[in-house]
Amino acid sequence: MRTQKIGRHVAGMVLLVFSCCAALAGAEAPKEAVLENQALRAVATPGQSGVAVYVKSDAANKRMELAIVGKGARHSEPISEARIVESESGKSLRVTAGSAVAEFSLGVAGLVKINPGPNAGSVEVRTGARFAILPDFFADDVVFDPVNL
């Protein structure tokens, strides 16, 4: 009698597992888009808050997150679409967040280049760095210190 109860429980569990697997097989996971060069890896996944940038020598730790903020918006929206596009200048990562679009490309010296597209107002750089430096080829470089802002 005990064996019959166990057998019914096992049969019920097997049925549950098969029904869950069938439901999961029909659901699609969001597709991430990955752009890499010798030094960096940029990963954009629909539903995430921004593009994650990793240094390849320390791939386990995210170096920064870049979130697109739409024109007139106070906060960024989650990524709705991400894909790799190819042009004459090479590959780039095209990301859509809400109605804002931007293209990210990776430079050879560990730089991330961001080209704003339609409705892109700004980019939030989320990182644990002490300073932010913006190089300028014709004038002095700009150094941002969050303590003095």
Return contacts of 116-123, CB within 8 angstroms, 24+ apart.
119/70, 119/71, 120/68, 120/69, 120/70, 120/71, 121/69, 121/70, 121/71, 121/72, 121/73, 122/69, 123/66, 123/67, 123/68, 123/69
105 in a structural domain: yes
Report pTM. Answer: 0.70
| Domain that residue 58 falls in | 33-148
2 three-class SS: helix
Give residue for tokens 């995430």.
48
**What are the pLDDT tens digits along the chain (149 aa)?**
445 554 454 444 443 444 444 444 444 456 889 999 999 999 999 999 999 999 988 888 898 999 999 999 888 999 999 999 998 888 999 999 999 999 999 987 788 999 999 999 999 989 887 777 777 777 778 887 877 76
5 in a structural domain: no
Report d(CA 33, CA 84) in Å as an integer: 6
> What domain count does the chain have?
1
70 in a structural domain: yes
